Structure 1
Amino acid sequence: MTDRITRLVEPVATALGYELVRVTMMGGPYGKSVLQIMAERPDGTMRVEDCEKLSRELSVILDVEDPISGEYTLEVSSPGLDRPLTRKKDFATWAGYLAKFELSEAVDGRRRFKGMLLGMDDDTIRVDIDGETLEFDFGNVHKAKLVLTDELLEKDRS
């Protein structure tokens, strides 16, 4: 379902000058679903006014197309500091910062890793884990996100 929703909302977001970071459905309180759409400007910023503008425009297309059965809440937000890493460019942009990964298929018997992003080449993500460089196929990453660290907070201040 999120693939269909992404296909519906991405052209709208792009036309308004935003890039989608993530589209996901989550269970909400009292059984009501939440459609969470994370977006940002090409420079990585996203103000409250941007979220409001994008939310208004996306509400129109979602009301017309009605891709979700039942009640749901639309939540449009920025990715935040400890942002999810969902696009190839995220792994290059955030090289030098600590990240957590969960893989779809285990590598060396493990599915969860935490390490310093070293960058990305083609479809291969390079990560320093305890002084050892490991490589993961982008297609094998189920979930990834930055870890909130002092370095990340310092970058946000600059």
Structure 2
Amino acid sequence: MSKREEYERRVEEILMPIIKVNKYELVDVEYVKEGSNWYLRAYIDKEGGITVDDCEVVSRALGEILDREDFIDGAYILEVSSPGLGRPLKKERDFERSLGEEVEVRTYKAIDKQKEFMGILKSYDKASVTLEFEDETEMNIARADIALIRLAFDF
């Protein structure tokens, strides 16, 4: 396990009690380098959406524990936010919640000369997802071939 993965795992463990007490959902934790800065990001959600106050509650509680435990080497910027409209489906509960919804899928390599697909998420398992298109045809795409899958949204 890489340091990045270890940090994300430990932060997730720390966050879970905070998330449960406040009746939020932990969507994702990521530790990434952008430019010369490292960022530790926690994405939270709840029914009806997340507010700035919700993010502040989690950020303060998490920040206190991270300062006390001090297991992350070097400086980083802590951010707590909502996942936003275009959030990718990553965890099992993301897929479960999105069944029957329209999703956008981008693949690493072309399938039938195409790398982007839009359809209804009909089913999923650890190996693949099944989309249904407007013409009622279905397509099974291996999860290993998926670069991005997220809810589709119209403006």
- Specify the TM-score bucket, using the shorter chain as the normaliser: 0.7 to 0.9
Give the match for residue 153 of structure 1: none
Rounded Cα–Cα distance in structure 2 between residues aligned with 1:65 and 1:143: 34
1:28 Cα deviation (Å)? 3.0
Query: What is the match of residue 119 of structure 1?
Result: 122
Percent of residue pairs identical: 28
Aligned pair in 2 of structure 1 residues 108, 15: CA closer, same or farther (>3 Å)? same
Alignment of 1:1-150 (within 5 A): 1=5, 2-29=8-35, 31-41=36-46, 43=47, 45-94=49-98, 95-102=100-107, 112-120=115-123, 123=126, 125-128=129-132, 131=135, 132-136=137-141, 143-150=148-155
The aligned length equals 146
Larger Cα-atom Rg = 2
Specify every segment of 5 or more residues in structure 1 that has no aligned partner in the other structure, as ranges. Answer: 151-158
Long gaps (5+) in structure 2 = none
Task: Measure, in 2, the Cα distance between the counterparts of 1:15 and 1:59.
Answer: 16
Q: Return the alpha-carbon distance in structure 2 between the equivalents of residues 142 and 11 of structure 1.
A: 31
RMSD, aligned α-carbons: 3.0
| CA contact 1:4–1:67 (8 Å) conserved in 2 | no
> Normalization by structure 1: what TM-score?
0.72
Per-residue CA deviation, residues 95-118 of structure 1 (Å, 9 max, x unaligned), is: 322323457xx79699x5432232
Are the aligned partners of 2:27 and 2:45 in contact in 1 as well (CA < 8 Å)?
yes
